[in-house]
Amino acid sequence: MVQKNLIDGEWIAGSEAFRNINPSDTNDVVGEYARASADDARAAIAAAKAAFPAWSRSGILERHAILRKTADEILARKDELGRLLSREEGKTLAEGIGETVRAGQIFDFFAGECLRLAGEVLPSARPNIGVEITREPVGVVGIITPWNFPIAIPAWKIAPALCYGNTVVFKPAELVPGSSWAIVDILHRAGLPKGVLNLVMGKGSVVGQAMLDSPDVHAITFTGSTGTGKRVALASVEHNRKYQLEMGGKNPFVVLDDADLGVAVEAAVNSAFFSTGQRCTASSRLIVTEGIHDRFVAAMGERMKGLTIDDALKAGTQIGPVVDQSQLNQDTDYIAIGKQEGAKLAFGGELLKRDTPGFYLQPALFTEATNAMRISREEIFGPVASVIRVRDYDEALAVANDTPFGLSSGIATTSLKHATHFKRNAEAGMVMVNLPTAGVDFHVPFGGRKGSSHGSREQGRYAAEFYTTVKTAYTLA
């Protein structure tokens, strides 16, 4: 059965379908999904535009009930949805279920936020006049998501968009339509009026581009590559629309001489290799001071030898496959580039054979890398990390900040002085002390600086900045 797109409250088949393939076993077809056309995208935008006046004035209890019901169903079905996620994306079952729970928590959080919409009432600078500051929805929000968090990223964009009274056209990544289809189905059955949320699965260059080109899309929130992010930005400037971008990272993880070695190694292995390194918050630059360098590298090697890389759904798997052939090619190309540049491939980097045909790659660790090498400057988006040796904390901080990106930045240290200084001086949106660079909460702001992000933060109460526009009303008493 082909899973369809949702346009104006109807499930629409479209003329073509595409297959969702399991990266742990390429013989396993997860499902077939309708491929939307540019016309479908335009119909979805028109439906969202028509639904906006009523939804933007809908009662907070109606919105609360729908978001709450969605949260409850996602959480009740966490094992099944987590399994679907791991099957289509390749992260381990524990990670898939964890991400699904997070999506449920996000809907639950924004169900609560509907009940806490607030403004300000101030006296005017002039006598006998009152001033009210309120937040109103922006209009039709275009949501474009990547493949690496198939349920959490759609959740953290759809939930606040609906909570604050916007209508939505949602285009998930083509590689992982299953989780997106499932949450749209849940929201639809939870009672969303027709046209409020529209799903258009299909090609970025067709469906995504139709969204960018439409004057009726009033805001676009995008997570994906730097190149596509730039297209979103340019098209949005053209239409004078609001836009928010989450793009790449080249996140540093600093290890100082005074670090607890066990804590540092656990955090580094998690940062660099969990979720197969396919997280924008993953760390691929391990910046290590001289006094602990050799012990750290040896301990990393030991820890990496013990990692189980296998089918995402198998019990005991710690690292699943790479998402597809083209991402695997990118990873192995960068491993070759690292060697050519003179870094030493200390561990891993080999393609692995397992029981089923899949994109299995042993996590790779380079040593003797410099921060000028391409493997230290460009986002690889796979289980590939390099160790950069530095003299001391000051050099570590300078190297950590010497990057075009600025999403997450980590440090392992037992020094309060260095931890405090790093929190203040790391040029990143998120800083982690004795914790992996990846792994964030659902109720606090998420986002970066420099080349990683543009616009206001996502998640938590800060999401209101993007999904609402402020109105200032003056009344003569």
The set of catalytic residues is: 246, 280
Question: DSSP characters for 109-151?
Answer: HHHHHHTT---EEEE-SSTTEEEEEEEEE-SEEEEE--SSSTT
In angstroms, how far is the first alpha carbon of the chain from the final one?
63
The rounded distance, in Å, linking the Cα atoms of 244 and 447 is 10
The C-alpha angle 226, 43, 455, rounded to 5 degrees, equals: 30
Tokens for 41, please give them: 């995208």
Q: Name the minimum Å distance from CB 308 to ligand ADP.
A: 26
Of the candidate spans 151-159, 221-229, 238-246, 418-426, the one that interacts with ligand ADP by CB under 6 A turns out to be: 221-229
Residue 76 CB-density burial (10 A; 0-12 exposed, 13-18 middle, 19+ buried): exposed
- Please provide residue 141's backbone torsions phi and psi, each rounded to the nearest 5 degrees: -105, 125
Q: Name the minimum Å distance from CB 139 to ligand ADP.
A: 19
**From candidates 78, 87, 91, 171, binder to ligand ADP by CB under 6 A:** 171
Q: Name the minimum Å distance from CB 404 to ligand ADP.
A: 17
C-alpha closest to that of 23 among 309, 396, 349: 309
Of the candidate spans 40-48, 187-195, 203-211, 253-261, the one that interacts with ligand ADP by CB under 6 A turns out to be: 203-211
The rounded distance, in Å, linking the Cα atoms of 251 and 89 is 22
The rounded distance, in Å, linking the Cα atoms of 168 and 376 is 38
Q: Name the minimum Å distance from CB 39 to ligand ADP.
A: 16
**144 vs 375 by CB, closer to ligand ADP:** 144
Q: Name the minimum Å distance from CB 197 to ligand ADP.
A: 17
**From candidates 68, 69, 83, 231, binder to ligand ADP by CB under 6 A:** 231
**24 vs 327 by CB, closer to ligand ADP:** 327
Sheet arrangement for strand 364-369: 344-347, 364-369, 384-390, 283-289, 251-255, 408-412, 430-433
Asked if 208 interacts with ligand ADP (CB under 6 A), we say yes
At residue 224, what is the residue type? G
**From candidates 7, 81, 212, 323, binder to ligand ADP by CB under 6 A:** 212
Asked if 325 interacts with ligand ADP (CB under 6 A), we say no
**264 vs 361 by CB, closer to ligand ADP:** 361
Window 87-146: residues binding ligand ADP (CB under 6 A): 144-146
Q: Name the minimum Å distance from CB 251 to ligand ADP.
A: 16
**From candidates 224, 277, 363, 383, binder to ligand ADP by CB under 6 A:** 224
Of the candidate spans 63-71, 75-83, 201-209, 237-245, the one that interacts with ligand ADP by CB under 6 A turns out to be: 201-209
- Asked whether 214 and 208 are in contact (CB, 8 A), the reply is no
**23 vs 204 by CB, closer to ligand ADP:** 204
Asked if 209 interacts with ligand ADP (CB under 6 A), we say yes
Any idea of the CA torsion for 147, 149, 151, 157, to the nearest 10 degrees?
A: -90
The rounded distance, in Å, linking the Cα atoms of 291 and 257 is 5
From residue 141 to residue 170, the character string flagging contacts with ligand ADP as x (rule: CB under 6 A) and all else as - is ---xxxx-----------------------
The residue ranges that bind ligand ADP (CB under 6 A) are 144-147, 171, 173-174, 204-205, 208-209, 212, 224-225, 228, 231
